Amino acid sequence: MGITSNKQFRSFALIAASINFITGLLVIVGWILKTRAITHIKGDYISMKFNTALCVCFMGAALFFRLVRGVRKYKGLAYFFTSLSFLIALISFCEYLFGIDAYIDTLFYADSETVAIPHPQGRITPLTCLSIAVISAGIFFSGYYRAARVMQYMLHLITLITFIALMGYVFNIKALHSHSFPTSIALHSAVTMFLLSIGVALLNPELGLVRLFTGKLIGNLMAKQLFTRIVIAVVIVVYLFILTYRNNVMSVELAAVFYAIVLLFAMLLFINDASKALNKIELDRKLAEDRFQLVVESAPNALIISDTKGDILLANRQAKLTFGYSEDEMIGKKIEMLIPRNIRDYHPDIRNSFFQHPQKRSFTTLHDIYAVRKDGTEFPVEIGLTPINTDKGIVALSSIVDVTERKQNERIIRKQMKELKMKNNEMERFTYIASHDLQEPLRTVSNYIQFLQEDYPEIMNEEIKQHLSTIGSAVERMGILVRSLLDYGRLGQNKVLATTDCAQLLQEVVSDLNSLITTSGATIVIQPLPVIDCYRMELRQVFQNLINNAVKFRKKDVAPLVTISHRVVGEAYEFAVSDNGIGIERQHFDRIFLMFQRLHRQDDYQGYGVGLANCNKIVNFHGGRLWVESVPGEGSTFKFLIPFIKNES
Ligand code: ADP
């Protein structure tokens, strides 16, 4: 419970507070300037006493400070002002009660007027005393639930009494407001107390009769509308009745019957309006209900609504299909029948905890939840629970999806991934072992060539020498290929993640390739490069291979120009090494990244076709991708992505 947060109510209370404060202030000025039009309003009306005006000011200020939220100091001020007004009202009331003079009446202002009979000079009237005391206490206790509940009804009483007094003024019935102890109250006092009593009651809109009008349900809206209209109708009819009576237009009996009939017709009209509005709302509700039913029925998920006791209230078509029950076998039965036996006994506790803290919950495949069909078979499910507020209290809407198939697919994918990984490892192991074993016979062949050359010089003619030299270079080349294969297999085995300044890395690469660059007359342009987390040694190899190729595959008579640049693409760095070399035809764009794939003869451009395969593997284990963009005869750009990697070390 707390001070109202409803904007409308706050505005009303603020207006009431302001009117009070201003009226109080005006009347104080009126007394000081002795202006009867302000203090009395009309000649024969009783005046708003100086002390009343003070209290009205205090209460207005107190209500204002009570409405300002979040500032403790203001709450203190509210208590201070209400205490003051309460005290003044209490002392004045005690004066009446015990027939004493506590000198409060003339303490702040001495009224020279002596006509305030039957009230002693300047004293607040008893009814006003009561109103001030109740309203002050109402403001004081508005934050304390128990006291506020009682005060709310007291405030209603003040609203009623001041309303009667106001009617007295409107209908000019003196007995209702003036000179007849104890109902006398000044007109402006009646207005201010009336407004204040409502304004203060609105601080707790959920308490007392205010609840009837402040609630958001249809009944509350109807009550507010009907009550306002009835009050206005009654006031008008009573006023007309009095006028008729006073002017002797017709006999009292006739007037009573006539106005009773008028009132009846007015009521009938209001009831007609209200019933029309209610019928429309009922129709809309029914329509919404039908629509809800339709949506629930046609939902692809199994939907079940159950109450706090676990009784199933609704099950859609899919729910019946999923669980294999008929409508009758589900409705009114316990939801526990859909839960596997091993956890069935605990479920009521789980259910209770849900209803104690009703909020959306979901249980995915990660929770490993199972449901049970009518035939006893269990199946994995995903469940979404949503609490719904209904006129029967909170109920739970469970949305259930049978995930048997998904789980099976997940299992298959997991198995295939495992197999694939094993196959890959096997392949790598095989390549490594094969290349390792191949080196041995190669060494033997090359040893034998050496033996032949050294031990049999007598049979070495030019032709044999030539053959042996060809065999020798073929074996040497074979050795290099086998070593390359071995290196490829080992690549990344000892990789270390390091924060790397790419600009510095490129300086090192260029310095390594110095002799190639100078002899070819190449220009290497290194644009600003980032500092990144990567496998430094391996990345260095990538740049080395790409720059080496960019210089190697140059056009005849054109000095190579190689540019290294980068940009950030999403969550990765994209590096580019571009050249003005011979270029590559589109159909070879993929092939060149495979092991031992070359596009030229050894005589034209030397190489073994392993550089790009290595680059590709390195970029791949960074989680990136390597590709080429090229126009034959104009040049190529090799691009690769290195995703942002978090270096935890
Ligand atoms: P290698 O350079 O030893 O031949 P790579 O694997 O590095 O082997 O390259 C494979 C093939 O891709 C090369 O033989 C060449 O035909 C082509 N290639 C690589 N880089 C370039 C480039 N910058 N310009 C033109 N062609 C290139």
Q: Return the residue whose CA atom lies nearest to atom 12 of ligand 1.
A: 592
Determine the Cα–Cα distance for residues 550 and 547; give it in Å rounded to an integer.
5
Contact 446, 573 (CB under 8 A): no
Task: Please tell me whether residue 105 adopts helix, strand or coil conformation.
Answer: coil
Distance 428 CA to ligand 1 centre (A): 24
> How far is 505 from 542, CA to CA, in rounded Å?
11
Query: Residue 593 Cα, ligand 1 centroid: separation in angstroms?
Result: 9
- Rounded distance from Cα 68 to ligand 1 centre (Å): 78
Percent of the chain with pLDDT strictly greater than 90: 48
Dump pLDDT digits (tens) for 210-266: 888 877 777 888 888 888 899 899 889 988 888 888 888 888 888 889 989 999 999
Mean pLDDT of the chain: 88
Query: Measuring from each residue's beta carbon to the nearest atom of ligand 1, which residues come in under 6 Å?
Result: 545, 549-550, 553, 579, 581-584, 592, 597-600, 607-613, 636
CA 97 to chain centroid = 60
Kindly tell me if the per-residue pLDDT of 177 is higher than 70: no
Expressed in angstroms and rounded, the spacing between residue 634 Cα and the centre of ligand 1 is 15
Predicted confidence (pLDDT) per residue in 497-535, tens digit: 999 999 999 999 999 999 999 999 999 999 999 999 999
- CA pair distance 410, 419, nearest whole angstrom: 14
Q: What is the pLDDT of residues 298-312, one digit of tens each?
A: 888 999 999 999 999
- Position of tokens 């049970």? 372
Looking at 246-348, which runs of residues are DSSP E strands?
302-306, 312-315
Give the dihedral sign, CA 9/11/17/20: negative
Confidence of residue 115 (pLDDT cuts 50, 70, 90): very low
Which residue's structure tokens are 């294999």?
324
Pocket test residue of 485, 516, 541, 549 for ligand 1, highest count of atoms within 8 A of CB? 549
Distance CA 49, CA 129 (A): 11
pLDDT digits (tens, 9 = 90+) for 595-632: 888 898 878 898 889 999 999 999 999 999 999 999 99
Stretch 275-286: mean pLDDT:
88
Q: How far is the CA of 109 from the centre of ligand 1 (A)?
A: 108
- 87 CA from centroid of ligand 1 (Å): 100
Residue 562 has pLDDT above 50, yes or no: yes
What is the whole-number distance in angstroms between the Cα of residue 537 and the centre of ligand 1? 21
Quick one: which atom of ligand 1 is closest to the CA of 612?
Answer: 6
**More confident site: 22 or 443:** 22
pLDDT higher than 50, residue 114: no
Residue to probe by mutation, ligand 1, list 545, 561, 598, 619, most atoms within 8 Å of CB: 598
pLDDT at 61: 94
pLDDT over 60 at 432, yes or no: yes
Which of 487, 553, 580, 603 for mutating ligand 1's site (highest number of atoms within 8 Å of CB)? 553
Q: How far apart are CA 13 and CA 11, in angstroms?
A: 5
Higher per-residue confidence, 486 vs 71 = 486
C-alpha of residue 609 to centroid of ligand 1, in Å: 7
Given a cut of 70, whether residue 3 has pLDDT beyond it is: no
Looking at the CA of residue 550, tell me the nearest atom of ligand 1.
Answer: 23
**Predicted pLDDT of residue 311:** 94
CA distances in angstroms from 251 to 237, 243, 256, listed in the order given:
16, 12, 9
Residue with tokens 């000179």: 179
The residue ranking higher by pLDDT, 44 or 5, is 44
CA of 338 to the centre of ligand 1 (A): 65
> Which residues pair with residue 13 across a beta bridge?
none
Closest C-alpha to ligand 1, atom 14: 598
Closest residue to atom 19 of ligand 1, CA basis:
549
Query: What is the percent of the chain where pLDDT is above 70?
Result: 95
pLDDT at 396 over 80: yes
What one-character-per-residue DSSP string does 228-259 give? Answer: HHHHHHHHHHHHHHHHHHHTTSS-HHHHHHHH
- Other CB atoms within a 10 A radius of the CB of residue 118 amount to 10
